[in-house]
Amino acid sequence: MVKGLKLQHKIYLGLMFLFLYAPIFVLVLYSFNESEAMGRWTGFTLKWYNELFRNDTIKNAFYYTIVCAIISTIVSTIFGTVAAIGIYYHKKRVQDYVLNVNYLPVINPDIVTAVSLMILYISVGIQRGFTTMVLAHIMFSTPYVILSVLPRLQAMDPNLIDAAQDLGATPLQAVRKVIIPEIMPGIVSGMLIAFTMSIDDFVISYFNTSGGVTNLSIEIFNMAKRRVKPTVNALATIMVAVVVMFVFIINRIGSKKKIEYRLKEEEK
């Protein structure tokens, strides 16, 4: 269509990115600010980082966030993949039932999902804490894993499984040696969704933990409600740095793969 972008399009995108990145820039900037009050620059300092590393509450929250994300990602990825394969092998009617229930946490407002689970825990008399938080995370991430794996299964040539069994594979071997490699991209993207949602979750965790167990979102929420110290900015800056590094690495791997692929194509 149109070669390059018209000036007004560039301006539009530029303003959009200004909108998206201004808050992040502000966060990073004031993490180096001498004064405790944000909005007034008084000089460069690293003392908030120092304070951050000595802040046990934040360190704890960070620890819980990461451990919870790792456990819930691993469990929900395996659980969701296995369930998706099971669903795929059932009749349409069974599939519909399961998928409808599976959709509930996806379309229900987070807060409704959160309080319903909280009511369950309390009604059964389970003390809310780290375990309940992890279980809650597994509960809301597994449906996303299923939703990203299932289309892969449906796109797979159904004869592949027959072929594997024909060549001597038991059903379990067919799953391991043929189905899993086939649906791997779906599993990976499901896993990424699960991890992102767990790391980022606020509402579900907020209602389903107690007794000193928190995660970063909850801590930030509590701090932001009251008076905020730039330690939070220091935390934000570190997060930004991690994300940018992560993206950079992924991009490098990606472009390397791309180059390899191109070379292969040219060989032909």
Partner 1 sequence: METSEIKSTSYTVNKIKSYNQGSVKSNKPLIEIINLSKEFDGEIVLKEINLTIKENEFLTLLGPSGCGKTTILRILAGFVSPTNGDILFEGKSILNLPPNKRQVNTVFQRYALFPHLNVFENIAFGLRLKKKKDDEIVAKVKQMLRLVKLEGFESRNVNSLSGGQQQRVAIARALVNEPKVLLLDEPLAALDLKLRQEMQYELKEMQRETGITFIYVTHDQEEALTMSDTIVVMNSGLIQQVGTPIDIYNEPKNRFVANFIGESNIIPGQMVADYKVRFENQIFDCVDRGFHPNEPIDVVIRPEDLLIVDKDSAPLVGVVDSVIFKGVHYEICVIVNGREYVIHTTKSARIGDVVGLTVEPENIHVMEVEGVGNE
Partner 2 sequence: MNRTIKSFLYPYAIWIAIMIVIPFFLIFFYSITQSRPDSPAIFRFTLKHYREFFKTENINILSKSVLLAVETTVLCLLLGYPAAWIIAKTKANVQNVILLLFILPMWINMLLRTYAWQVILGRTGILYTDAAVVIGMIYNFIPFMVLPIYTAITKIDKSLIEAANDLGANSKEAFLKVVFPLSMPGVVTGIVMVFLPAVSSFAIPRLLGGGQYVLIGNLIEKQFYLLNNWNFGSAISVILMILILISMRFMKKSGEMGGKGGAIPW
181 contributes a contact to partner 1 by CB under 8 A: yes
Residue 163 binds which of partner 1, partner 2, none (CB < 5-8 A, kind-dependent): partner 1
268 binds partner 1 (CB under 8 A): yes
Which residue carries 């932001």 as its tokens? 224
Of the residues 184, 224, 245, 250, which one makes contact with partner 1 according to CB under 8 A:
184
Residue 266 binds to partner 1 (criterion: CB under 8 A): no
Q: Does 200 bind partner 1 (CB under 8 A)?
A: no
Scanning 26-34, 42-50, 71-79, 169-177 for contacts with partner 1 by CB under 8 A, the matching segment is 169-177
Please provide the DSSP assignment of the chain as one string.
--SS--HHHHHHHHHHHHHHHHHHHHHHHHTTBSSSSTT----B--HHHHHHHH-HHHHHHHHHHHHHHHHHHHHHHHHHHHHHHHHHTS-HHHHHHHHHHHHHHHHS-HHHHHHHHHHHHHHHTPPPSHHHHHHHHHHHHHHHHHHHHHHHHHHS-THHHHHHHHTT--HHHHIIIIIHHHHHHHHHHHHHHHHHHHHH--HHHHHS--TT---HHHHHHHHHHS---THHHHHHHHHHHHHHHHHHHHHHHHHHHHHHHHHHHHH-
167 is in the binding site of which of partner 2, partner 1, none (Cβ under 5 to 8 A by kind)?
A: partner 1
* Number of residues in contact with partner 1 under rule CB under 8 A: 19
Contact 130, 64 (CB under 8 A): yes
169 touches partner 2 (CB under 8 A): no
Smallest gap from residue 73 Cβ to partner 1 (A): 23
Instruction: Give yes or no for a contact between 52 and 231, defined as CB atoms under 8 angstroms apart.
Output: yes
Which span (80-88, 105-113, 156-164, 233-241) binds partner 1, by CB under 8 A? 156-164
Does residue 134 interact with partner 2 by CB under 8 A? Answer: no
* Residue 173 binds partner 1 (CB under 8 A): yes
Is residue 14 a contact point for partner 2 (CB under 8 A)? no
Q: Least Å distance between CB 79 and partner 1?
A: 23
Q: Of residues 85, 178, 183, 234, which one binds partner 2 by CB under 8 A? A: 85
- Span of 34-42, 72-80, 105-113, 176-184 interacting with partner 1 by CB under 8 A: 176-184
| Interacting residues toward partner 1 by CB under 8 A | 157, 159-160, 162-170, 173, 177-178, 181-182, 184, 268
